[in-house]
Protein backbone atom coordinates (compact mmCIF):
# COMPACT_ATOMS: atom_id res chain seq x y z
CA UNK A 1 0.00 0.00 0.00
CA UNK A 2 1.95 3.08 -1.18
CA UNK A 3 -0.77 5.57 -0.20
CA UNK A 4 -4.02 5.94 1.75
CA UNK A 5 -5.94 8.00 -0.83
CA UNK A 6 -7.83 5.22 -2.68
CA UNK A 7 -9.16 3.84 0.63
CA UNK A 8 -10.64 7.26 1.52
CA UNK A 9 -12.14 7.56 -1.97
CA UNK A 10 -13.89 4.22 -1.48
CA UNK A 11 -15.28 5.40 1.88
CA UNK A 12 -16.64 8.53 0.17
CA UNK A 13 -18.18 6.42 -2.58
CA UNK A 14 -19.80 4.04 -0.11
CA UNK A 15 -23.09 5.97 -0.19
CA UNK A 16 -24.74 8.81 -2.14
CA UNK A 17 -23.54 12.28 -1.13
CA UNK A 18 -25.33 15.61 -1.14
CA UNK A 19 -23.83 19.11 -1.30
CA UNK A 20 -25.01 19.40 2.32
CA UNK A 21 -22.62 16.56 3.33
CA UNK A 22 -19.58 18.53 2.19
CA UNK A 23 -16.93 19.16 3.25
CA UNK A 24 -16.31 15.54 4.25
CA UNK A 25 -13.03 15.11 6.12
CA UNK A 26 -11.40 11.69 6.56
CA UNK A 27 -8.16 11.32 8.53
CA UNK A 28 -5.92 8.47 9.67
CA UNK A 29 -2.40 7.65 10.78
CA UNK A 30 -1.82 5.15 8.00
CA UNK A 31 1.24 2.98 7.44
CA UNK A 32 2.44 2.99 3.82
CA UNK A 33 5.26 1.20 1.99
CA UNK A 34 7.38 2.37 -0.91
CA UNK A 35 10.22 0.42 -2.47
CA UNK A 36 12.88 3.13 -2.30
CA UNK A 37 16.20 2.21 -3.89
CA UNK A 38 18.97 1.38 -1.40
CA UNK A 39 21.02 4.47 -2.28
CA UNK A 40 18.05 6.72 -1.53
CA UNK A 41 17.44 5.44 2.00
CA UNK A 42 18.64 7.80 4.71
CA UNK A 43 18.15 7.24 8.46
CA UNK A 44 14.59 8.07 9.48
CA UNK A 45 14.21 10.76 6.82
CA UNK A 46 13.70 8.34 3.91
CA UNK A 47 12.53 4.83 4.70
CA UNK A 48 10.59 2.06 2.97
CA UNK A 49 7.81 1.76 5.54
CA UNK A 50 6.48 4.88 7.24
CA UNK A 51 3.42 6.42 8.88
CA UNK A 52 1.57 9.33 7.32
CA UNK A 53 -0.78 11.63 9.23
CA UNK A 54 -2.95 11.50 6.17
CA UNK A 55 -6.28 13.22 5.61
CA UNK A 56 -8.46 13.86 2.60
CA UNK A 57 -11.06 16.58 2.42
CA UNK A 58 -13.82 16.27 -0.17
CA UNK A 59 -15.37 19.66 -0.84
CA UNK A 60 -17.26 21.82 -3.30
CA UNK A 61 -15.37 24.39 -5.42
CA UNK A 62 -16.80 27.25 -3.33
CA UNK A 63 -15.41 25.62 -0.14
CA UNK A 64 -11.88 25.08 -1.44
CA UNK A 65 -10.25 28.27 -0.13
CA UNK A 66 -11.84 28.06 3.33
CA UNK A 67 -10.73 24.44 3.75
CA UNK A 68 -7.25 25.31 2.55
CA UNK A 69 -6.95 28.10 5.13
CA UNK A 70 -8.03 25.72 7.89
CA UNK A 71 -5.36 23.20 6.91
CA UNK A 72 -2.70 25.95 6.82
CA UNK A 73 -3.77 26.85 10.38
CA UNK A 74 -3.20 23.23 11.49
CA UNK A 75 0.31 23.21 9.98
CA UNK A 76 1.19 26.57 11.56
CA UNK A 77 -0.09 25.38 14.96
CA UNK A 78 2.14 22.30 14.79
CA UNK A 79 5.19 24.37 13.78
CA UNK A 80 4.55 26.88 16.57
CA UNK A 81 4.07 24.11 19.14
CA UNK A 82 7.41 22.52 18.25
CA UNK A 83 9.25 25.82 17.74
CA UNK A 84 9.91 25.47 14.00
CA UNK A 85 10.14 29.18 13.22
CA UNK A 86 12.35 28.99 10.11
CA UNK A 87 10.18 27.78 7.26
CA UNK A 88 8.93 28.88 3.86
CA UNK A 89 5.84 27.86 1.97
CA UNK A 90 6.40 26.74 -1.63
CA UNK A 91 3.44 27.21 -3.98
CA UNK A 92 3.73 24.77 -6.87
CA UNK A 93 1.75 25.79 -9.97
CA UNK A 94 1.36 24.19 -13.39
CA UNK A 95 3.41 25.23 -16.41
CA UNK A 96 1.05 27.38 -18.55
CA UNK A 97 3.14 26.57 -21.66
CA UNK A 98 2.82 22.82 -21.22
CA UNK A 99 -0.80 22.25 -20.21
CA UNK A 100 -1.05 18.79 -21.77
CA UNK A 101 0.98 17.42 -18.82
CA UNK A 102 -1.94 18.13 -16.47
CA UNK A 103 -5.53 16.99 -16.16
CA UNK A 104 -8.56 19.15 -15.38
CA UNK A 105 -10.06 22.24 -17.00
CA UNK A 106 -8.36 25.63 -17.21
CA UNK A 107 -11.15 27.08 -15.08
CA UNK A 108 -10.63 24.54 -12.28
CA UNK A 109 -6.85 25.04 -12.33
CA UNK A 110 -7.23 28.82 -12.17
CA UNK A 111 -9.65 28.57 -9.24
CA UNK A 112 -7.42 26.12 -7.35
CA UNK A 113 -4.23 28.14 -7.91
CA UNK A 114 -5.93 31.38 -6.86
CA UNK A 115 -7.38 29.69 -3.76
CA UNK A 116 -3.89 28.56 -2.68
CA UNK A 117 -2.27 31.94 -3.39
CA UNK A 118 -5.04 33.83 -1.56
CA UNK A 119 -5.06 31.42 1.41
CA UNK A 120 -1.27 31.72 1.81
CA UNK A 121 -1.50 35.52 1.59
CA UNK A 122 -4.37 35.62 4.07
CA UNK A 123 -2.22 33.77 6.61
CA UNK A 124 0.82 35.99 5.97
CA UNK A 125 3.05 33.14 4.80
CA UNK A 126 6.49 33.78 3.36
CA UNK A 127 6.09 32.04 0.00
CA UNK A 128 8.04 31.11 -3.09
CA UNK A 129 6.27 30.24 -6.34
CA UNK A 130 7.53 27.38 -8.49
CA UNK A 131 6.07 27.23 -12.01
CA UNK A 132 5.83 23.71 -13.43
CA UNK A 133 6.23 22.01 -10.02
CA UNK A 134 2.53 21.21 -9.56
CA UNK A 135 1.44 17.59 -9.49
CA UNK A 136 -0.28 16.49 -12.70
CA UNK A 137 -3.59 16.38 -10.81
CA UNK A 138 -3.47 19.82 -9.15
CA UNK A 139 -1.43 22.62 -7.50
CA UNK A 140 0.06 22.22 -4.02
CA UNK A 141 1.57 24.02 -1.06
CA UNK A 142 4.67 22.49 0.54
CA UNK A 143 6.19 23.64 3.83
CA UNK A 144 9.99 23.68 3.75
CA UNK A 145 11.51 23.71 7.25
CA UNK A 146 15.11 24.62 8.13
CA UNK A 147 16.64 22.58 10.93
CA UNK A 148 19.18 23.81 13.50
CA UNK A 149 22.10 23.48 11.06
CA UNK A 150 20.32 25.08 8.12
CA UNK A 151 19.28 22.03 6.09
CA UNK A 152 15.92 22.24 4.31
CA UNK A 153 13.29 19.52 4.73
CA UNK A 154 9.83 19.24 3.25
CA UNK A 155 7.47 18.42 6.11
CA UNK A 156 3.84 19.48 5.73
CA UNK A 157 2.10 19.35 2.37
CA UNK A 158 -1.35 20.35 1.10
CA UNK A 159 -2.42 19.30 -2.39
CA UNK A 160 -5.49 19.93 -4.53
CA UNK A 161 -6.58 16.94 -6.59
CA UNK A 162 -8.99 16.78 -9.54
CA UNK A 163 -7.70 13.41 -10.73
CA UNK A 164 -8.76 10.87 -8.09
CA UNK A 165 -12.39 12.11 -7.84
CA UNK A 166 -12.58 11.52 -11.61
CA UNK A 167 -10.76 8.17 -11.54
CA UNK A 168 -13.03 6.87 -8.77
CA UNK A 169 -16.10 8.55 -10.30
CA UNK A 170 -16.91 10.45 -7.10
CA UNK A 171 -20.05 12.57 -7.18
CA UNK A 172 -22.40 14.62 -5.07
CA UNK A 173 -25.86 15.95 -5.79
CA UNK A 174 -25.74 19.75 -5.92
CA UNK A 175 -28.30 22.36 -4.93
CA UNK A 176 -29.47 22.29 -8.57
CA UNK A 177 -30.27 18.55 -8.17
CA UNK A 178 -27.56 17.70 -10.72
CA UNK A 179 -24.49 15.50 -10.16
CA UNK A 180 -21.17 17.26 -9.61
CA UNK A 181 -17.59 16.19 -9.05
CA UNK A 182 -16.07 17.08 -5.63
CA UNK A 183 -12.55 18.48 -5.24
CA UNK A 184 -10.17 16.47 -3.09
CA UNK A 185 -7.57 18.06 -0.79
CA UNK A 186 -4.71 15.87 0.43
CA UNK A 187 -3.20 17.11 3.66
CA UNK A 188 -0.35 15.80 5.81
CA UNK A 189 0.84 18.44 8.33
CA UNK A 190 3.68 16.21 9.58
CA UNK A 191 4.35 14.57 6.20
CA UNK A 192 5.93 11.33 7.41
CA UNK A 193 5.98 10.83 11.19
CA UNK A 194 9.42 9.21 10.93
CA UNK A 195 10.89 12.14 9.00
CA UNK A 196 9.23 14.65 11.31
CA UNK A 197 10.69 12.97 14.42
CA UNK A 198 14.13 12.82 12.75
CA UNK A 199 14.06 16.54 11.93
CA UNK A 200 12.73 17.34 15.42
CA UNK A 201 15.59 15.40 17.06
CA UNK A 202 18.14 17.22 14.87
CA UNK A 203 16.45 20.59 15.43
CA UNK A 204 16.36 20.30 19.23
CA UNK A 205 19.63 18.31 19.52
CA UNK A 206 17.57 15.84 21.56
CA UNK A 207 16.46 18.49 24.07
CA UNK A 208 12.71 18.09 23.62
CA UNK A 209 10.16 20.45 25.18
CA UNK A 210 9.26 19.40 28.73
CA UNK A 211 5.72 18.33 27.76
CA UNK A 212 7.02 16.08 24.97
CA UNK A 213 10.20 14.50 26.34
CA UNK A 214 9.85 10.75 27.07
CA UNK A 215 11.31 11.09 30.60
CA UNK A 216 10.71 14.37 32.39
CA UNK A 217 12.82 13.50 35.46
CA UNK A 218 15.35 10.91 36.58
CA UNK A 219 15.93 10.08 40.25
CA UNK A 220 19.57 9.57 41.27
CA UNK A 221 20.11 7.83 44.62
CA UNK A 222 23.62 8.64 45.93
CA UNK A 223 24.08 5.00 46.95
CA UNK A 224 22.21 1.70 46.70
CA UNK A 225 20.77 1.97 50.20
CA UNK A 226 18.55 4.87 49.05
CA UNK A 227 17.06 2.94 46.11
CA UNK A 228 13.87 2.18 48.07
CA UNK A 229 13.29 5.87 48.80
CA UNK A 230 14.00 6.63 45.12
CA UNK A 231 11.30 4.09 44.13
CA UNK A 232 8.88 5.74 46.58
CA UNK A 233 9.56 9.16 44.99
CA UNK A 234 9.05 7.65 41.51
CA UNK A 235 5.65 6.24 42.50
CA UNK A 236 4.55 9.55 44.00
CA UNK A 237 5.61 11.50 40.89
CA UNK A 238 3.87 8.99 38.63
CA UNK A 239 0.69 9.76 40.57
CA UNK A 240 1.14 13.37 39.41
CA UNK A 241 1.49 12.09 35.79
CA UNK A 242 5.18 13.04 35.70
CA UNK A 243 7.20 10.62 33.59
CA UNK A 244 10.03 9.48 35.85
CA UNK A 245 12.66 6.77 36.04
CA UNK A 246 15.28 5.72 38.63
CA UNK A 247 18.99 5.35 37.87
CA UNK A 248 19.79 2.39 40.15
CA UNK A 249 23.31 1.77 38.84
CA UNK A 250 26.05 1.26 41.39
CA UNK A 251 27.98 4.32 40.21
CA UNK A 252 29.25 7.52 41.85
CA UNK A 253 26.72 10.35 41.87
CA UNK A 254 29.00 12.55 39.70
CA UNK A 255 29.00 9.93 36.93
CA UNK A 256 25.22 9.51 37.17
CA UNK A 257 24.74 13.27 36.79
CA UNK A 258 27.09 13.45 33.77
CA UNK A 259 25.46 10.46 32.05
CA UNK A 260 21.94 11.80 32.52
CA UNK A 261 22.94 15.29 31.38
CA UNK A 262 23.96 13.65 28.08
CA UNK A 263 20.55 11.96 27.86
CA UNK A 264 18.93 15.44 27.86
CA UNK A 265 16.52 14.52 30.68
CA UNK A 266 15.17 17.90 31.87
CA UNK A 267 15.34 17.30 35.65
CA UNK A 268 17.63 15.22 37.87
CA UNK A 269 16.41 14.50 41.39
CA UNK A 270 19.17 13.55 43.83
CA UNK A 271 18.19 11.62 46.95
CA UNK A 272 20.32 10.64 49.94
CA UNK A 273 20.12 10.42 53.72
CA UNK A 274 19.02 14.04 54.29
CA UNK A 275 16.31 13.86 51.60
CA UNK A 276 14.98 10.55 52.93
CA UNK A 277 14.72 11.92 56.49
CA UNK A 278 12.89 15.09 55.39
CA UNK A 279 10.94 13.43 52.51
CA UNK A 280 12.34 15.92 50.01
CA UNK A 281 14.42 15.86 46.82
CA UNK A 282 17.42 17.90 45.60
CA UNK A 283 16.61 19.23 42.14
CA UNK A 284 19.01 19.89 39.24
CA UNK A 285 17.77 21.26 35.91
CA UNK A 286 19.34 20.30 32.58
CA UNK A 287 21.81 23.03 31.58
CA UNK A 288 21.01 25.23 34.61
CA UNK A 289 22.37 23.26 37.58
CA UNK A 290 21.17 23.20 41.18
CA UNK A 291 17.62 24.37 41.91
CA UNK A 292 17.65 23.60 45.64
CA UNK A 293 15.72 21.19 47.84
CA UNK A 294 11.94 20.90 47.63
CA UNK A 295 9.07 18.61 48.54
CA UNK A 296 7.71 16.18 45.99
CA UNK A 297 4.45 18.14 45.78
CA UNK A 298 6.35 21.40 45.14
CA UNK A 299 8.40 19.75 42.37
CA UNK A 300 5.24 18.35 40.76
CA UNK A 301 3.75 21.86 40.85
CA UNK A 302 6.94 23.27 39.25
CA UNK A 303 6.71 20.80 36.33
CA UNK A 304 2.99 21.36 35.82
CA UNK A 305 3.39 25.17 35.94
CA UNK A 306 6.20 25.07 33.36
CA UNK A 307 4.13 22.90 31.01
CA UNK A 308 0.99 25.05 31.46
CA UNK A 309 3.03 28.21 30.74
CA UNK A 310 4.36 26.66 27.51
CA UNK A 311 0.88 25.57 26.39
CA UNK A 312 -0.51 29.03 27.18
CA UNK A 313 2.17 30.64 24.96
CA UNK A 314 1.35 28.19 22.15
CA UNK A 315 -2.40 28.85 22.32
CA UNK A 316 -2.19 32.65 22.64
Q: 5-204 is classed in which CATH architecture?
A: 2-Layer Sandwich (3.30)
User: Which pLDDT score is estimated for 10?
Assistant: 95
Measured CA to CA, the distance from residue 205 to residue 261 in angstroms comes to: 13
Does residue 94 sit in helix, strand or coil? coil
Residue 28 region, left (φ>0) first, then alpha (ψ -120 to 50), else beta?
Answer: beta
User: Distance of CA 36 to CAs 1, 29, 75, 133, Å?
Assistant: 13, 21, 27, 21
Residue ranges of alpha helices (H) inside the chain are 5-13, 64-81, 106-122, 163-167, 193-204, 227-239, 253-262, 273-278, 296-315
- Of 186, 195, 203, 256, which residue is the catalytic one? 186
- Of 17, 94, 140, 187, which residue is the catalytic one? 140
Give catalytic status of residue 203 as yes or no: no
- Angle CA(53)–CA(31)–CA(200) in degrees, nearest 5? 50
Q: What is the dihedral of CA 192, 197, 202, 205, to 10 degrees?
A: 170
User: Which pLDDT score is estimated for 131?
Assistant: 92
Q: Comparing C-alpha atoms, which of 50, 13, 52, 11 is closest to residue 34?
A: 50
- Of 8, 9, 54, 63, which residue is the catalytic one? 54
Give catalytic status of residue 186 as yes or no: yes
User: Which pLDDT score is estimated for 284?
Assistant: 93
User: Which pLDDT score is estimated for 34?
Assistant: 83
Measured CA to CA, the distance from residue 88 to residue 58 in angstroms comes to: 26
Fold held by 217-315: Rossmann fold (3.40.50)
- Of 8, 9, 52, 256, which residue is the catalytic one? 52
Measured CA to CA, the distance from residue 68 to residue 159 in angstroms comes to: 9
**pLDDT tens for each residue of the chain, 316 residues long:** 777 888 999 999 999 999 999 999 999 998 888 888 888 887 877 888 888 888 999 999 889 889 989 999 999 998 888 888 888 899 999 998 888 888 878 888 888 888 889 889 988 888 899 999 888 888 999 898 887 777 788 888 898 888 889 889 999 999 999 999 999 999 988 888 888 888 888 888 888 999 999 999 999 999 999 999 999 999 999 999 999 999 999 889 999 999 999 999 999 999 999 999 999 999 999 888 889 999 999 999 999 999 999 888 888 7
Give catalytic status of residue 5 as yes or no: yes
User: Which pLDDT score is estimated for 24?
Assistant: 96
Name the residue ranges covered by the structural domains of the chain: 5-204, 217-315
Q: Comparing C-alpha atoms, which of 157, 120, 111, 159 is closest to residue 139?
A: 159
User: Which pLDDT score is estimated for 45?
Assistant: 78
User: Which pLDDT score is estimated for 292?
Assistant: 92
Give catalytic status of residue 54 as yes or no: yes
User: Do residues 145 and 189 make contact, with C-beta atoms less than 8 angstroms apart?
Assistant: no
Beta strands 172-173 and 179-180, pairing class: antiparallel
Give catalytic status of residue 52 as yes or no: yes
User: Do residues 160 and 183 make contact, with C-beta atoms less than 8 angstroms apart?
Assistant: yes
Does residue 155 sit in helix, strand or coil? strand
User: Which pLDDT score is estimated for 228?
Assistant: 93
User: Which pLDDT score is estimated for 221?
Assistant: 94
- Of 9, 17, 53, 56, which residue is the catalytic one? 56
User: Which pLDDT score is estimated for 163?
Assistant: 82
Measured CA to CA, the distance from residue 82 to residue 231 in angstroms comes to: 32
User: Which pLDDT score is estimated for 18?
Assistant: 96
User: Which pLDDT score is estimated for 149?
Assistant: 75
- Of 1, 34, 151, 179, which residue is the catalytic one? 34
- Of 5, 17, 53, 161, which residue is the catalytic one? 5
Amino acid sequence: KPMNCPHHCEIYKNKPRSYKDLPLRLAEFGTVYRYEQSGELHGLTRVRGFTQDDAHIFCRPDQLKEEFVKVIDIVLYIFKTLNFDKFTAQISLRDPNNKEKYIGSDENWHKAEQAIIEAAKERGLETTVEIGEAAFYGPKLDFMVKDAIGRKWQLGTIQVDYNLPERFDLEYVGEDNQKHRPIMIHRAPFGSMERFVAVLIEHTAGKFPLWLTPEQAVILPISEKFNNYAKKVENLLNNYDIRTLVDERNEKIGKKIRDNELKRIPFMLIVGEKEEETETISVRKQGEGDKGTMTIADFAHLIQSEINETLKEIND
